[in-house]
Structure formats: structure tokens, C-alpha cells
Amino acid sequence: MQKVSDSKLGRTITSLVPDRNNRSGAFTAFWRRFASNELAVFSLLGLILLITVAIFGPVLYPQSVIKPDYAAINAGPSPDHWLGTDNLGRDTLARLMFGLRVSLLVAVYVEVLNITLGVTLGLLAGYFGGLIDVLVTRLADILFAFPGLLLAILIAAAFGAPVSERFGGVGRLLLVAGSISLVSWSLMARYVRGQTLVLREQEFVLAARSLGASDLHIITQHILPNVAGLIIVSSTLDVASVVVNEAVLSLLGLGIQPPDPSIGKMINEAIPFLESSPLQVFLPSLALMLIVLTVSFLGDGLRDALDPSTLR
């Protein structure tokens, strides 16, 4: 049997298949459902604001992230230091905005890794089954035996100091992201695999195959668009736990290294001075909770707005 992967034929096939019909109408319907959820829209705006602050805040605000002001140690808010200073006299707002940037950057790196690794392997395992399926699910099972952050802590213990010495702060940030995604990609792979198992038995896949579409064409044009909603929702919701995990690692001294600011590190450094300057602990905590809440509500809103039947 000859396999036809002609792009022209590919277009005819897609036009016959129901899942590609009125794509723009589907988006309008999705947007209408999403817009009716006030909390989700509000969270989306909040998240956009947080991202804007993370990008432009450190540029616009004049205070240095690492330079200490010896005249103001553990000081309260003032015109010079809008949110006060920490125990070394470093400006809290500047550090907070930079920490926000670090948190969001780690989240972006982790989700990029999760999506490239988890989605690819999940699609391949679900679509082809057989040996690759066994390998992927086995690997996911093994990684799941390490609860929570245990594997990330192990990686930080073994590679953390050498990576920091050789590649500096950026290298450490990538190591943190990599070690967090080491376990979480397998969750993404599980979701995608489960969905692919269902989708590959559907009539439109059979129709595409009988018209001679290649495996690659079926996966990218028919399966992937149908798991896209699942991928978007689960990676949005996952951002909340990534941000918390990065903070935990930095708080334990295993993540972002001083003097680079990170929200977790800021909390840890300020706890000994909790009694005299509680603001230095509660402000980073508040910033962290803002990210976690906006991302969670946004994820819930996206899940409700996308076709609920395709999600779990």
C-alpha cells in the first residue's frame, strides 16, 4: 500500500474531517464562555499586570536589586524605598519585582520543557502503543515514586554548586527549571497519552487514515488540535505548583543563589527578623499568593470555557 503524504491531498482530508470545521466559530464560543466567568477574566488581567511588572518594573524603578543602603536596614516604606528594605539594606520592591521575574521565568522554562517532552512522548506512546508506550509509562511510574520535590532536591544537591560556579545565576535558574520538570513532564505525558488513546479510535482518525494520511499527518493535524485544550489547561494550572516549588527550593537554599533575589529566598532571609519587620516576610508571601491564585483561577476558567467533555 502506498502512503500518500501529498500536501494537497492533506488539505482535502482536513476539509472532510469534522474536528477542523468552523474553527473560528469554536473560538468565538470559547471566548464567550470564558468572558462570562468574571473571576477568570479578572485573573487574566491580574496575571497580565504581574507579567508587565516583572518585565518593566526593574527597568523603571531606580533602586538596585543587590546594592545595600547602609542608612536604611530593615527599614519601613519610605519615598526612597517604596516597600522598605531587608536586613542588609537592599530595596524590597526592587528585589520583589526581580523575584517575580525569576518565578515567572522558571515557570515558562518548566512548561516549555513539559510540553515538548511530555506532549511528544505522550502522543507517541498513546498513538503507537507497543514498546514506546511501555517505556514511557514505566519511566513515568519510576519518576512518580519520588514524591513531591525529592528528585529536584537530589539533583540540586549533586549538581547545584558546580553549575552555579561554572554557569552563574542563569545556569542555576535553568537547573532549577530542569529539575522541577523532571517529574512534572510525566504527568503531562500521562494526560496526553490517555487522551490520545481515546482519540485514535475515533471515526475521523479512521477516515483520515483510509484516505491515506500518514501517521505524522494524523498526529499533528487531527490528534494534536484535540489535545490542545488539555495541554493549555493543565500547563496553566501547573504553573501554580511550579512557582511554589521554585520558592521551596530557593527557601531551602537549593534554588536561586544569593545575591540573586527569589521570592522563596526573600521569605527565608526575612524570617529571623519577623518580630521586628514582619512586612519583609509578608510582602513576598503576598506576591507569591497573587501568582498562585491568578494562575489557578485562570486555569479553572479556561477548563470551564473549553469543551468540558474533552478534559478528564
The contact set with another protein (CB under 8 A) reads 141-142, 145-151, 153-162, 240, 244-245, 247-248, 251-254, 264, 267-268, 271, 274-275, 278, 281-282, 285, 288-289, 292-293, 296
- Decide if 63 contacts 81 (C-beta within 8 A): yes
Select 34 or 273, whichever has its Cβ closest to another protein: 273
Residue-wise burial string across 269-298, b where 16 or more C-beta atoms lie within 10 A, e elsewhere: bbeeeeeebebbbebbeebbebbbebbbbb
- Least separation in angstroms between CB 152 and another protein: 9
Q: In the bound complex, what is the minimum distance in angstroms from residue 156's beta carbon to another protein?
A: 7
To another protein, the closest distance from the beta carbon of 146 in angstroms equals 5
Give 25 or 147: the residue with its C-beta nearer to another protein.
147
Q: Where do runs of H (alpha helix) occur along 71-211? A: 92-113, 120-128, 130-144, 150-199, 203-210
DSSP category for residue 85: B
The distance of closest approach from Cβ of residue 149 to another protein in the complex, given in angstroms and rounded to an integer, is 5
Task: Report how far apart, in Å, the C-alpha atoms of 152 and of each of 148, 168, 176, 180, 245 are.
Answer: 9, 19, 8, 6, 9
Q: Which is nearer to another protein, 119 or 298 (CB)?
A: 298
**Alpha carbons 39 and 295: distance in angstroms, whole number:** 11
Please identify, using beta-carbon distances, which residue of 228 and 271 lies nearer to another protein: 271
Closest to another protein by CB, 112 or 158: 158
To another protein, the closest distance from the beta carbon of 130 in angstroms equals 19
